[in-house]
């Protein structure tokens, strides 16, 4: 694919998306506000915590609010403390009729919600073999990203900072290494607290970003969703255009090698 | 080291003295910090901080919003038995009180659960008085197994159990344990719990450690406020919660601030806690423990619950009945405490919406419970 094409879409597991902004559905003041925000930023992938939806209830608020949209509903395993729980949740979601895509979150520590690398890898192996499109949430660990890619994950989703921290791309150097090595899309997930953070991740060459808290808890979530959309587009355009890169010092006006000419 | 030893080393009376000598500049310093230390908590609980409630409330609101979003989780209790062998001076269930005693059969308890399910509840708290004969641990397990197929989250507020009993309940599908120490002060504890199994302070204090070791995903601490000066109790609650977070890092820790109002036979709390005190305690706790759940029950009156929603609360009960069979065969004479907020679950949910929050009925899943593996 021509990386300079303006229309180059995001492709995950053979499926094409125009939007590079994935959004979460938690923390909103209502399901209706969540839907308006998702529409405002033209998101095509919306992640839903399985713990929050009642799969047995056809009138579930969250799924009801997303109905009729052009969204891929990406269920996530938020709350799972080990691989077995995550695998069980994923299978329950598929059995209830959701598409076999799963945002794999294994976070044994309920305080920081940081991912467990060993359990995540173990669950990913099982779920990939089971036919799921697996998108694991991970620490920005380049070796783990490679390992997950090797077992067949469709993306890797390294965190910029702890979930809900709004601190931005604090793991920048490690994410850079992941971006250079990855053959699957890299989605920077968690910690992006402002549109400028999302733009930064996209400028670095991330394939996409996932945002929830910063949109959901803004004074005006719909307007903030729109702002994130613009930032993601702008960051992507900057990356395509080729950022000149910062320099530590001014260029000498009398180059040392000038005599070679 | 057990929490009991940790608490003894912490020396609550000297911490309270230190708190009482804090100045407003100590409070300002604490309010400016991202990660609070114990000295900052002492400042926030100090008399000086009682003049800074507004900035504390604002910060508590912002932190709660960031961490938990604009949501309030709703739950309801099922009282399975009010038979009790204890003599707690403040409690309606105490053995010396002449109230109608009931223990629900499994079918009756399931009927209560079905009532709550129809109301929309998916988070259920199973509550019982302390009578191992009338309500043995196996009876809780049996109820859990019955309702596990539809309940998203099942927690227990029952007498302290052995670790193997907690493990048995985890296997049946229990997600958590709520257990208030009532008071962390040994002397007062002995005075108000003169007899029965509950007279053993240390056994009760270590119960949440046993529950944590048994794999309970949620541990809820609290004290019955009014038995002892609140500043000391709030410090002990904070120490207990942070100790549990450190030692059982896989478990979610929550805190509650149940206030004693009036008990049976004219019981009056020795150290009544005012609304201002409650707000100070709750917001200080949020600032010190940004990730802890904060639970508010129907003990508190409607107007106060409305006002407290944005100050750090993450979870509320609604439409609660505190007597066994209260939902399907009401008889309020056997109630544990007087429910001040008598609004229905639907009314509470509407109120939460009016406050700009989403009432959440489900924020856990049976797939996350060990009981689902079987």
Fold category of B71-373 in CATH: TIM Barrel (3.20.20)
Q: Tell me, what DSSP letter sits at residue B371?
A: G
In whole angstroms, what is the distance from residue B260 CA to residue B229 CA?
Answer: 12
Whether the Cβ atoms of residue A46 and residue B369 lie closer than 8 Å to each other: no
Inter-chain CB proximity B250 and A108 less than 8 Å: yes
Helical segments of chain B, H only: 3-10, 12-20, 24-31, 38-44, 53-68, 106-119, 137-147, 163-172, 186-192, 201-205, 207-213, 230-247, 275-288, 302-308, 345-354
Q: Which residues in chain A have their CB less than 8 angstroms from residue B66's CB?
A: 164, 166, 213, 217
Residues 170-189 in A contacting B (C-alpha not used; CB under 8 Å) = none
Residue pair B92/B305 in contact (Cβ under 8 Å)? The answer is: no
Q: What is the mean pLDDT of chain A?
A: 90
Whole-angstrom Cα distance, residue A188 to residue A112? 17
Question: Which of helix, strand or coil describes residue B23?
Answer: coil
pLDDT band at A205, cuts 50/70/90?
A: very high
pLDDT in tens, B204-224: 999 999 999 999 999 999 999
What does the H/E/C string look like for A222-257? HHHHHHHHHHHHHHHHHHHHCCCCCCCCCCCCCCCC
Alpha carbon distance B187, A109 (integer Å): 36
Q: Is B133 on the interface with A (CB under 8 A)?
A: no
| A216 contacts B70? CB cut-off 8 A | yes
Report residue A35 CA to chain centroid gap. Answer: 18
Angle among Cα B182, B185, B41 to the nearest 5 degrees reads 90
A52: distance to nearest CA of chain B, Å? 5
Q: Give the C-alpha separation, B161 to B314, whole Å.
A: 27
List CB contacts (< 8 A) between B120 and chain A. none
* The pair of three-digit structure tokens given for residue B257, joined into one six-digit string: 């601030």
- Residue A3: per-residue pLDDT: 46
Cα-based distances in Å from B254 to A196, B205, B257, B332:
34, 16, 10, 29
Domain ranges in chain A are 10-241
B-proximal residues of A, 18-37, CB under 8 Å? 26-31
Q: Which residues of B120-144 are buried (b: 16+ CB within 10 A; e: fewer)?
A: bbbbbbbbbbbbeebbebebbbebb
Give domain limits for chain B: 71-373
A258 contacts: CB under 8 Å, gap ≥ 6: none
The 3-state DSSP class for residue A164 equals: coil
Say how far apart CA A250 and CA A21 lie, in whole Å. 37
CA–CA dist A14, B241 (Å, integer) = 47
Tokens of A197: 């953070």
Mind listing the pLDDT tens digit for each residue in B260-299?
Answer: 876 555 678 899 999 999 999 999 999 999 999 999 988 8
pLDDT of residue A251: 64
B235-262 per-residue burial string, b: 16 or more CB within 10 A, e: under 16: bbbbbbbbbbbebbeebbbbbbbbbbbe
- Check residue B304 and give its pLDDT: 87
Residue B34 CB burial class (10 angstroms; 0-12, 13-18, ≥19): exposed
Token pair 């689902």 is found at: B372
The pLDDT assigned to A243 comes to 77
Question: Higher-confidence residue: B373 or A96?
Answer: A96
* Residue B205 DSSP one-character state: H
Ranking A2-16, A117-131, A159-173, B175-189 by mean pLDDT, the lowest is: A2-16
- Give CA–CA dist A7/B262, Å, rounded: 70
The answer to whether residue B325 scores a pLDDT higher than 80 is: yes
Predicted pLDDT of residue B21: 96
Give the pair of three-digit tokens for residue B180. 């208030």
Non-local CB neighbours of A163 within 8 Å, separated by 6+ positions:
A112, A113, A190, A191, A213
Rounded Cα distance between B5 and B8, Å, is: 5
Tell how far CA B135 is from the center of its chain: 21
pLDDT band at A1 (very low <50, low <70, confident <90, very high): very low
Bridge partners of A155? none
**Could A31 and B353 be called an inter-chain contact, meaning their C-beta atoms sit closer than 8 Å?**
no
Statement: residue A249 has pLDDT above 70 = no
Rg of chain A, C-alpha, whole Å: 19
Q: How far apart are CA B132 and CA B100, in angstroms?
A: 18
Average of per-residue pLDDT across B186-190: 95
Output the six-digit token pair for B334. Answer: 């056997």
Given CB atoms, is A78 within the 8 Å cutoff of chain B? no
Cα–Cα distance, B194 to B146 (Å, whole number)? 36
In chain B, the residue whose alpha carbon lies closest to the alpha carbon of A221 is B70
Residue with tokens 């065969």: B329
Strand, helix or coil for residue A88: helix
pTM of the model: 0.87
What pLDDT does B277 receive? 95
Alpha-carbon distance of A123 to A85, in angstroms, equals 9
Predicted confidence at residue A130, as pLDDT, reads 97
For the domain with range A10-241, which CATH number is right: 3.30.360.10, 2.60.120.10, 3.20.20.70, 3.50.50.60? 3.20.20.70
Percent of chain A whose predicted confidence (pLDDT) is above 70: 92
Helices and strands: H and E segment counts in chain A = 9, 10
**Marked catalytic residue, from A27, A103, A129, A167:** A103
Average confidence (pLDDT) over B227-238: 96
Do residues A166 and A198 lie in contact, with contact meaning Cβ atoms separated by under 8 Å? no
Nearest CA in chain B to A116: B250
| Cα–Cα dist B214/B208, whole Å | 10
Q: What is the pLDDT of residues A208-231, one digit of tens each?
A: 999 999 999 999 999 999 999 999
Nearest to B226 by CA among B182, B279, B264, B265: B182
Q: Look up the ipTM and state it.
A: 0.77
pLDDT at residue A6 tops 60: no
Summarised one tens digit per residue, pLDDT across range B349-363 is: 998 999 899 999 999
The mean pLDDT value for A101-122 works out to 95
Determine, for residues B367 and A30 on separate chains, whether the beta-carbon distance falls below 8 Å. no
Whether A103 is a known active-site residue: answer yes
pLDDT over threshold 60, residue A235: yes
For chain B, say whether A111 makes contact (Cβ under 8 Å).
Answer: yes
Q: Which sign does the torsion angle of CA B213, B214, B218, B222 carry?
A: negative
Cβ–Cβ contact B121 with A under 8 A: no
A160 touches chain B (CB under 8 A): no
Chain B residues whose beta carbon lies within 8 Å of the beta carbon of residue A110: 250-252, 291
Using the predicted structure, report yes or no on whether residue A2 has a pLDDT greater than 50.
Answer: no
pLDDT at B48 over 50: yes
The residue of B149, B358, B363, B364 whose CB has the most chain A CBs within 10 angstroms, and thus the best one to mutate to test that interface, is B358
Q: Closest approach of chain B CAs to the CA of A166, in angstroms? A: 8
Q: Cα separation of B285 and B361, whole Å?
A: 25
For residue B190, give every residue at least 6 positions away whose Cβ sits within 8 Å of its Cβ, in sequence order, or none.
B199, B201
CB A215: neighbour CB atoms within 10 A? 30
């Amino acid at each position: 694919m021509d990386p300079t094409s303006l229309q180059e879409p995001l492709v995950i597991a053979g499926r094409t998306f125009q939007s590079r902004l994935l959004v979460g559905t938690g923390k909103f003041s209502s399901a209706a506000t969540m839907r308006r925000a998702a529409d405002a930023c033209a998101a095509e992938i919306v992640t839903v915590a399985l713990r929050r939806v009642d799969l047995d209830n056809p009138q579930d608020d969250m799924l009801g609010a997303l109905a009729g949209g052009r969204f891929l509903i990406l269920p996530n395993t938020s709350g799972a403390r080990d691989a077995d729980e995550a695998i069980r949740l994923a299978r329950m979601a598929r059995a209830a009729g959701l598409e076999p895509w799963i945002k794999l979150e294994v976070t044994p520590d309920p305080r920081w919600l940081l991912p467990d690398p060993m359990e995540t890898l173990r669950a990913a192996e099982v779920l990939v073999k089971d036919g799921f499109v697996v998108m694991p949430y991970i620490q920005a660990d380049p070796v783990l990203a490679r390992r997950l890619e090797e077992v067949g994950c469709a993306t890797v989703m390294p965190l910029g900072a702890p979930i809900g921290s709004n601190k931005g791309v604090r793991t920048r150097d490690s994410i850079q290494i992941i971006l250079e090595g990855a053959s699957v899309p890299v989605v920077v997930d968690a910690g992006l607290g402002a549109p400028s953070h999302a733009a930064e991740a996209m400028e670095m060459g991330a394939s996409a970003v996932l945002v929830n808290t910063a949109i959901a808890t803004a004074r005006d979530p719909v307007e903030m969703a729109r702002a994130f959309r613009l930032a993601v587009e702008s960051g992507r355009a900057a990356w395509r255009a080729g950022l000149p890169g910062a320099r530590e010092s001014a260029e000498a006006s009398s180059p040392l090698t000038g005599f070679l000419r | 080291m057990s929490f009991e030893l940790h608490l003894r080393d912490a020396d609550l009376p000297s911490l309270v003295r230190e708190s009482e000598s804090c100045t407003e500049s100590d409070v300002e310093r604490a309010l400016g910090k991202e990660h609070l230390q114990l000295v900052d908590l002492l400042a926030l609980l100090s008399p000086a901080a009682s003049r800074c409630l507004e900035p504390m409330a604002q910060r508590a609101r912002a932190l709660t919003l960031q961490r938990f979003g604009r949501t309030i989780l709703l739950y309801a209790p099922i009282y399975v038995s009010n038979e009790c062998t204890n003599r707690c001076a403040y409690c309606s269930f105490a053995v010396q009180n002449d109230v109608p005693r009931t223990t629900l059969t499994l079918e009756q308890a399931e009927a209560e659960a079905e009532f709550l399910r129809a109301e929309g509840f998916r988070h259920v708290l199973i509550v019982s008085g302390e009578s191992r004969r009338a309500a043995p641990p196996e009876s809780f397990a049996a109820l859990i197994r019955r309702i596990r197929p539809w309940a998203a989250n099942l927690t227990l507020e029952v007498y302290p159990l052995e670790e193997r009993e907690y493990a048995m309940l985890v296997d049946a599908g229990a997600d958590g344990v709520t257990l208030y120490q009532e008071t962390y002060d040994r002397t007062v504890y002995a005075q108000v719990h003169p007899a029965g199994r509950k007279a053993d302070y240390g056994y009760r204090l270590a119960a949440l450690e046993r529950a944590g070791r048994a794999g309970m995903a949620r541990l809820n601490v609290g004290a019955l406020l009014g038995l002892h000066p609140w500043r000391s109790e709030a410090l002990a609650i904070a120490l207990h919660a942070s100790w549990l977070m450190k030692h059982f890092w896989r478990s979610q820790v929550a805190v509650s601030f149940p206030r004693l109002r009036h008990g049976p036979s004219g019981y009056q709390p020795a150290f009544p806690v005012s609304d201002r005190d409650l707000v100070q305690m709750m917001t200080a706790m949020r600032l010190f423990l940004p990730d802890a759940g904060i639970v508010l029950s129907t003990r508190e009156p409607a107007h106060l619950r409305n006002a407290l929603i944005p100050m750090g609360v993450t979870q509320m009960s609604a439409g609660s009945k505190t007597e066994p069979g209260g939902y399907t065969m009401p008889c309020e004479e056997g109630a544990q405490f007087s429910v001040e907020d008598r609004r229905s679950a639907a009314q509470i949910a509407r109120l939460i919406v009016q406050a700009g929050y989403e009432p959440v009925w489900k924020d856990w899943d049976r797939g996350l419970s060990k009981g689902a593996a079987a």
